[in-house]
Chains A and B, each alone.
Chain A
Amino acid sequence: EAGVTQSPRYAVLQEGQAVSFWCDPISGHDTLYWYQQPRDQGPQLLVYFRDEAVIDNSQLPSDRFSAVRPKGTNSTLKIQSAKQGDTATYLCASSRWGARSAETLYFGSGTRLTVL
């Protein structure tokens, strides 16, 4: 079974530039999460979807960040005008929406973003 696939692996930008991150979840996983992980910190939830619907994007800086999952499979996270404070690893994770058991998150390898 293929894991969660993310691209690109690395991105280096100047402040003000735009960047997009792409995620392909595990087949059959209906729930997809985007996390921001600054260096030496825990993953911080940005947004998550069930199928194509956004469940929670309250932590997404809406003026510059956007995320879509139009067909309920792949997802794209975009930063319109990057700032140095956006420097972090962006992790995508997927799971199955469960009603009776604790569902595991499966993480991709992440995109390491550096904003100069």
Chain B
Amino acid sequence: GDSVTQTEGLVTLTEGLPVMLNCTYQTIYSNPFLFWYVQHLNESPRLLLKSFTDNKRTEHQGFHATLHKSSSSFHLQKSSAQLSDSALYYCALTSHTNAYKVIFGKGTHLHVLP
């Protein structure tokens, strides 16, 4: 079945440094939709950004990601981390050909230090 892999469980970095959170996926469907959700402490996940277009950069709230179907990747990046970026980040996958079954990765905890 479909799966999403986030290799880092915890990323700790200093404010101002660049952020990169990895996401790769496996699916038999040719038209995947990829998402990044962010979950702050004691809150529910909310959408950060999404894409279904190959090789097109998507940006929101200073974060960006590009879906690369050739490498099955959708890495999340930000040029300069802020303290308020500390949160759990989940990569998720769905496809209309998979009846919109939405699968989440295990998540990456981003901890930004002053």
Task: Report if A and B associate in a common complex.
Answer: yes
CA separation between A54 and B79, bound complex, in Å? 42
Given A56-B99, A91-B44; A102-B33 close (CB under 8 Å) = yes
CA separation between A35 and B34, bound complex, in Å? 18
The contact string, 1 if C-beta is below 8 Å from chain A, for chain B 79-114, is 000000000001010101001111111110100000
Please classify how large the interface on chain A is, using the bins under 10, 10 to 19, 20 to 34, 35 or more. 20 to 34
- Give the chain A neighbours of B77 by CB distance below 8 A: none
14 residue pairs of the A-B complex, CB under 8 angstroms, read A33-B102, A35-B104, A43-B104, A55-B99, A55-B101, A56-B101, A97-B100, A99-B96, A104-B50, A105-B35, A105-B45, A107-B46, A108-B44, A109-B43
B102-A98 in contact (CB<8A):
no
A42-B44 in contact (CB<8A):
no
